[in-house]
Amino acid sequence: MKIETMEDTKLDAITFQVPSPDGTMFVTVTEDKSGKPIAVFIHIGKAGAPIAAWSNALARMLTLALDHGATINDVLVELSNQTTDKIRMTSNGESIRSSVEAICSALMQYKRAKFDGIRATLGDMEAHRGPRLDG
């Protein structure tokens, strides 16, 4: 019988800090061992505040959707363009018009980070490949 250790259950997670009209938001995407996103955690506001309850509930729904086969792209399609009358600007000039858009911004940053990681891995593979035989 194999006893599962904490090392066996270690998951990777990445957290993004995003400004929103309701305050600074922290969105964490947790991945399984294969790199598939399996959970989203959202923190904004103080414990017990309405925005904290809302963000916790939405994070649970996003995690449930991922658990049932939804992708980050599916989530982005459904949540995009949900705006309010308030705007907050990011340091790179992106306008965030709601807390939902802040979540989308964090998920897009996650997708970019994954893409950059894949591109770097492929670049390393190309460097170790050796000379091409066809040219």
> What digits encode the pLDDT tens for the residues 51-76?
999 999 999 999 999 999 999 999 99
Instruction: Show me where the domains of the chain are located.
Output: 8-127
> Is 15 in contact with 26 (CB distance < 8 Å)?
yes
Give the number of other CB atoms < 10 A from CB of residue 37. Answer: 23
Residues 27 and 102: their CA atoms lie apart, in Å, by 9
pLDDT over 80 at 125, yes or no: no
Residue range 73-113, pLDDT digits in tens: 999 999 998 888 898 988 888 899 999 999 999 999 999 99
Among 102, 54, 33, 78, which residue's Cα sits nearest to residue 110?
A: 102
Q: pTM for this one?
A: 0.81
Residue 98 and residue 83 in contact, taking contact as beta carbons nearer than 8 Å: yes
Which residues share a beta bridge with 40?
29
CA distances to 14, 20, 32, 77, 88 from 85, rounded to whole Å, are: 30, 12, 37, 21, 10
